[in-house]
Chain A
Amino acid sequence: MTGTERELRPFRLPSLRWTGIFVLLTLLSLDIWAWDSKAVIGGWLPVWVFHLLVLQFVLAFALWRFTQEWKP
């Protein structure tokens, strides 16, 4: 194995901040505090589904920012 090949592993995250962000988003997706919610938007979309939709777009934005920073 050459030196260059050896340098590829192990890969490393740029900072623990990103781990925190992704863990936080996952915990927020649980939405336990409104588990019994029956509220709907527009008569058909449960509010908790809307909450999940928003979180997923936040996740997409976070990933986009992360890709700008993490270049192994």
Chain B
Amino acid sequence: MSPTLIVLAVLTLYLAGSLWVGWRSWRQGAATLDDYFVASRRISPLVLFCTLAATNFSAFFFLGFAGASYRLGWPFYGLMAFGTSLVGLSILLLGVPIYKLGKAKGYLTPPELITGESGSQMLGWLYGAVLVIFTLPYLAVQPYGAGLVLESLTDGGIDGFHGAVLLTGVMLIYIWLGGMRSSVWTDLLQGGLMLGLMLTAVLVVMQGLGGFGAAGGDLAAAHPQKFMREGAVTWQVWLSYTLLWPMVVPMFPQLFSRFYIAESDKALRTAAWLYPTIVPLLFLAPVLLGVSGNLDFPELAKAESDSIVPILLLEHAPLWLAALVMTGALAAFMSTADSQLLAMSSILTRDIAASITELKEDEQYSLGRWLVVALAIVGLALAYDPPDTIFNVVSQAFTGLAVLFPTTVALLWWRHTRSEACIASILTGETLVAWTYLAAQGGGIPEWFTQGFHPSMPIIFLSAVILIVGSLLLGKDSET
């Protein structure tokens, strides 16, 4: 059997499995707006945890983590792990309030909650605009990246764009049919595959390298700096990432929307402590692979190092196994992209269309489904030849979305929050995001601004200060 045929057989099985799960979920659901966007708020604790994790961990977790660890060494684990575990705290402190408010008032999208709780349509629109601006480019980048994975897997047998069309097409079918319900249940399949195949990759590669101890010993002798934080990362950058993840992850609209789908607040409580239980072990796998890649391939350039997982697999595993494991990367892509597609569709339907014109629920349901199709087509069109602007926006997405964190926390937790101060906070934050981006392109972001921290830290801090000072100056607002 030729290599391309093996890959195609594995791929066909995976895609057929995704379609079957998506179809089964649709059959169990109802053709209502509530079911389409929030799965009738009936997702149980364990399933909720799985869908939160699968949605959060994109193809970057599967490929980019290992690539970054190849270059930076073990310190990359430190930049990602504890902060991601702290997302559990965010699930609890933001997720539970969002769930309760969503259930009590029927919110389906993040901006709806912001508008409803602040009483300001303007703030809701601004919040929604930021979500769309920083999430839409991701929708284009994801199929582009997945297409490239498929192209490399089939050795050019399927070119990148046709690969993107194939994967997006399958995703579109199950999201069109079952919306959130299909997204959640396919997440279970995709997340399980991602986890199982990543662990398989670790076992196969480490065995090929002579075992954990032998590979570690060789690596420590040849590349001791890969084990050390000193010289690789500063404590300021380390702390920045530790704080950034719990602030930005719940601001991803695809994650925020999932707080609405829980069957009870117990589901979110369970997901909250499961997150730091699983993440520490899960993150070891790609980091270990990436760091170990330095043994066999010590001189890879940056772009090549992002493919260190497939490179290692092709070195240490039979082709069929390498193809099977790389299906995990495609699963990781689909589990994130389908959720983003649905979240964008819900925002455009509920917060834009339904707020400017009268739409009955069944009309919104229909519009939401067509918007999923339209967004997927836009994503594919951009994936055909992505303009540089898209990658530029994506590079700023984490900080851009984290600017919404102070507003979200304040509206849920602080009685004196004023919507005008929230608007000023977001506008100032996004202006600073644009300024730091332009400064980085020029002479670099001034040291007096960052003080050695990641630029997101002073930006979020200033956004929070403006919100607090503004709210206090404007005085108590009993309506918010």
For residue B273, CB closer than 8 A to chain A, the reply is yes
What 1/0 flags go to A1-13 for Cβ under 8 Å of B? 0001100111110
- B residues within 8 A CB of A30? 235, 238-239, 242
Report Cα–Cα, A16/B29, bound state, in Å.
Answer: 43
Stretch at the interface among B185-193, B211-219, B332-340: B211-219
Asked whether A57 and B277 contact (CB < 8 A) given A5-B104, A30-B238, A38-B224, the answer is yes
For residue B302, CB closer than 8 A to chain A, the reply is no
- Interchain nearest-CB distance for A63 vs B (Å): 4
Is B235 a contact partner of A32 (Cβ separation < 8 A)? yes
Interface residues of B in 156-206 (CB under 8 A from A): none
Which residues of B are at the interface with A, using a C-beta cutoff of 8 A?
Answer: 74, 77-78, 81-82, 85-86, 88-89, 92-93, 96-97, 100-101, 104-105, 117, 212-217, 219-220, 224, 227-230, 235, 238-239, 242-243, 265, 269-270, 272-277, 279-281, 284, 288, 411-415
Report Cα–Cα, A35/B227, bound state, in Å.
Answer: 11
Is B216 a contact partner of A42 (Cβ separation < 8 A)? yes
Closest CB pairs A-B (n = 8): A44-B216, A43-B213, A56-B280, A67-B269, A60-B276, A64-B273, A63-B273, A36-B230
Known: A11-B97, A49-B78. 8 other contacts (CB 8 A): A5-B104, A29-B82, A30-B242, A45-B216, A52-B77, A55-B82, A63-B88, A67-B92
What 1/0 flags go to A21-37 for Cβ under 8 Å of B? 01000100110100111
Report Cα–Cα, A46/B413, bound state, in Å.
Answer: 39
Report Cα–Cα, A64/B117, bound state, in Å.
Answer: 29
Report Cα–Cα, A6/B412, bound state, in Å.
Answer: 11
- Among A30, A48, A60, max chain B CB count under 10 A is at A60
- A residues within 8 A CB of B86? 22, 26, 59
- Interchain nearest-CB distance for A11 vs B (Å): 5
Report Cα–Cα, A49/B78, bound state, in Å.
Answer: 7
Report Cα–Cα, A61/B235, bound state, in Å.
Answer: 26
Is B82 a contact partner of A43 (Cβ separation < 8 A)? no
CB<8 Å pairs between A and B, sample of 13:
A26-B86, A26-B242, A30-B235, A42-B212, A43-B220, A45-B216, A52-B77, A53-B284, A56-B81, A60-B85, A60-B88, A67-B270, A71-B265
- Interchain nearest-CB distance for B269 vs A (Å): 4
Report Cα–Cα, A36/B229, bound state, in Å.
Answer: 6
Residue of A nearest to B227 (CB): A46
Report Cα–Cα, A23/B412, bound state, in Å.
Answer: 20
Is A9 a contact partner of B412 (Cβ separation < 8 A)? yes
Report Cα–Cα, A35/B411, bound state, in Å.
Answer: 38
Residue of B nearest to A12 (CB): B413
Is B77 a contact partner of A49 (Cβ separation < 8 A)? yes
Report Cα–Cα, A35/B74, bound state, in Å.
Answer: 13
- A residues within 8 A CB of B78? 48-49, 52
- A residues within 8 A CB of B288? 44
Report Cα–Cα, A12/B272, bound state, in Å.
Answer: 17
> Which of A4, A55, A60 meets B273, CB within 8 Å?
A60
Residue of A nearest to B117 (CB): A9
> Which of A5, A12, A67 meets B105, CB within 8 Å?
A5
Asked whether A72 and B280 contact (CB < 8 A) given A10-B412, A44-B215, the answer is no
- Interchain nearest-CB distance for A31 vs B (Å): 8
Is B242 a contact partner of A56 (Cβ separation < 8 A)? no
Is B89 a contact partner of A22 (Cβ separation < 8 A)? yes
Asked whether A53 and B280 contact (CB < 8 A) given A11-B412, A59-B86, A72-B100, the answer is yes
Asked whether A35 and B97 contact (CB < 8 A) given A52-B78, A59-B86, A63-B276, the answer is no
- Interchain nearest-CB distance for A37 vs B (Å): 7
Is B413 a contact partner of A10 (Cβ separation < 8 A)? yes
Is B216 a contact partner of A56 (Cβ separation < 8 A)? no
- B residues within 8 A CB of A45? 216
Is A63 a contact partner of B217 (Cβ separation < 8 A)? no
- A residues within 8 A CB of B275? 60
Report Cα–Cα, A45/B212, bound state, in Å.
Answer: 9
